């Protein structure tokens, strides 16, 4: 149950990510069982201007029901396949007597709309895009089968790993260790707040707002979520009453005090004009490197060496008995 020396292993899966290409047998199963999107976007004058332009730029305004079904089936098939691969890692820990002494943490960097709100991919603040799983297992240290509904941030995951290792916290990080919260959720002192932001300067990598840039920030505090769009109206949702984010309360006179408080918190220490200037300066710096590359034409040595055995589409590589069932 003890490794020869402590180790840290980071495994990055591309699954489930577009392009949505899955194993045929998995795809067929989910094609027959997948449900349609549960949250259609209220189109017309109720559609937020950013979301409207984003849908236009991504050319996803007219996606057929069959295309939606196929894409959703392939996405869930990729989730299924990733679960199998994670099961292999857990099995390897178990076979080497390391499972009881290893903290396992699964998370991801963003979600996927898969047709919800009439959207695909990421890059919005809807829950489908910005809310991600955080699954931890540490036998004997964390209670098994516990679900915690508190608001956490990706910043908290680094703090959690450092805490588990007995290392000092990062001096300038806002991350908080999850270990005290998970050990005793009802009694732990915890501030239910998280931020997310998406910025792209006017000369950025294309996108639907190349002439304006995109400077957006979100705060989730308790049941409330405020989406701030620089130069455009905010969105305000109460996720306790409206978990699918269908009712934007930003223009409702009854919630102006809540909107103002959250907006002030979003803009505290966050200046979109400063960010725009900083991004433009960095782009100017990178243009020098780009000119150097065109002149020198250095060899491209940054290539992954892929083993054919790593092909997740090959039905001979994995079978469903290897799927992680948490048993």
Q: What is the mean pLDDT of residues 94-114?
A: 93
Residue 201's pLDDT band (boundaries 50, 70, 90)? confident
Cβ neighbours around 177 below 10 Å, total: 17
Structure tokens at 171: 């001096």
CA distance 42 to 64: 17
Residue 211's pLDDT band (boundaries 50, 70, 90)? low
pLDDT exceeds cutoff 60 at 316: no
CA distance 306 to 13: 14
Residue 312's pLDDT band (boundaries 50, 70, 90)? low
pLDDT exceeds cutoff 50 at 24: yes
Q: What is the mean pLDDT of residues 81-104?
A: 93
Residue 168's Cβ-side half-sphere holds a number of Cα atoms within 13 Å equal to 3
DSSP 219: E
Domains delineated in the chain: 1-102+112-121+297-327 (no CATH), 191-294 (3.30.1120)
Strand order in the sheet with 224-229: 193-200, 214-221, 224-229, 235-238
The candidate with the shortest Cα–Cα distance to 161, out of 191, 194, 131, 136, is 136
The pLDDT value recorded for residue 109 is 92
The pLDDT value recorded for residue 67 is 95
The pLDDT value recorded for residue 323 is 45
Mean residue pLDDT of the chain comes to: 88
Contact between residue 113 and residue 129 where contact means Cβ atoms under 8 Å apart? yes
In sequence order, the 6+-apart residues with CB closer than 8 A to the CB of 175 are 153, 155, 156, 157, 158, 159, 160, 169
Where residue 213 falls (left for φ over 0; alpha for ψ -120 to 50; beta otherwise) is left
pLDDT exceeds cutoff 60 at 320: no
The pLDDT value recorded for residue 205 is 47
The pLDDT value recorded for residue 154 is 94
Structure tokens at 92: 């390897």
Helix ranges (H only) for the chain are 24-33, 49-58, 65-95, 127-130, 155-165, 179-183, 256-267, 272-296
Q: What is the mean pLDDT of residues 55-77?
A: 91
Residue 58's pLDDT band (boundaries 50, 70, 90)? confident
Residue 113's pLDDT band (boundaries 50, 70, 90)? very high
Specify which residues 236 forms β-bridges with: 226
Bridge-based pairing state of the strands 235-238 and 224-229: antiparallel
Q: Please tell me the pTM assigned to this model.
A: 0.85
Phi, psi of 193 (to 5 degrees): -145, 145
Residue 203's pLDDT band (boundaries 50, 70, 90)? low
Q: What is the mean pLDDT of residues 248-265?
A: 97
Residue 314's pLDDT band (boundaries 50, 70, 90)? low
The pLDDT value recorded for residue 106 is 95
∠ CA 192-197-203, nearest 5°, is 175
Collapsed DSSP state (helix, strand, coil) of residue 46: helix
Helices vs. strands in the chain: H and E counts, helices first = 8, 6
In sequence order, the 6+-apart residues with CB closer than 8 A to the CB of 34 are 69, 72, 73, 76
The pLDDT value recorded for residue 184 is 85
Q: What are 125-183's pLDDT values in tens digits?
A: 999 999 999 999 999 899 898 899 999 999 999 999 999 999 999 999 999 999 999 98
Q: Where is pLDDT greater, at 207 or 135?
A: 135
CA distance 77 to 29: 8
Cα 150–chain centre separation:
17
CA distance 176 to 160: 7
């Amino acid at each position: 149950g003890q490794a020869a020396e402590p180790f840290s292993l980071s495994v990055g899966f591309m699954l489930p990510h577009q392009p949505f290409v899955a194993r045929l047998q998995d795809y067929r199963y989910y094609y027959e069982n997948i449900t349609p999107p549960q949250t259609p976007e209220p189109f017309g004058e109720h559609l937020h201007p950013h979301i409207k332009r984003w849908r236009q730029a991504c050319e996803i305004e007219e996606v057929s029901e069959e295309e939606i079904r196929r894409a959703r089936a392939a996405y869930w098939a990729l989730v299924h396949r990733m679960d199998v691969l994670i099961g292999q890692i857990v099995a390897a820990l178990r076979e080497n007597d390391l499972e009881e002494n290893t903290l396992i943490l699964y998370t991801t960097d963003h979600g996927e709309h898969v047709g919800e709100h009439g959207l695909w991919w990421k890059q919005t603040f809807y829950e489908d895009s910005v809310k991600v799983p955080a699954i931890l297992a540490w036998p004997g240290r964390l209670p098994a089968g516990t679900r915690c509904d508190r608001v956490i941030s990706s910043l908290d995951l680094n703090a959690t790993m450092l805490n588990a290792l007995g290392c000092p916290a990062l001096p300038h990080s806002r991350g908080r260790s999850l270990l005290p919260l998970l050990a005793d959720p009802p009694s732990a002192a915890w501030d239910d707040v998280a931020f997310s932001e998406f910025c792209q300067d006017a000369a950025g990598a294309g996108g639907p707002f190349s002439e304006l840039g995109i400077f957006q920030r979100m705060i989730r505090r308790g049941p409330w979520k405020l989406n701030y769009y620089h130069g455009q109206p905010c969105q305000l949702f109460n996720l306790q009453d409206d978990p699918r984010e269908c009712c934007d309360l930003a223009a409702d006179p009854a919630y102006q005090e809540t909107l103002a408080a959250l907006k002030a918190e979003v803009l505290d220490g966050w200046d979109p004009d400063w960010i725009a200037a900083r991004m433009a300066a960095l782009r100017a710096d990178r243009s020098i490197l780009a000119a150097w590359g065109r002149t020198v034409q250095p060899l491209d040595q940054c290539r992954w060496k892929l083993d054919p055995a790593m092909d997740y589409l090959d039905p001979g590589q994995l079978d469903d008995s290897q799927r992680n069932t948490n048993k």
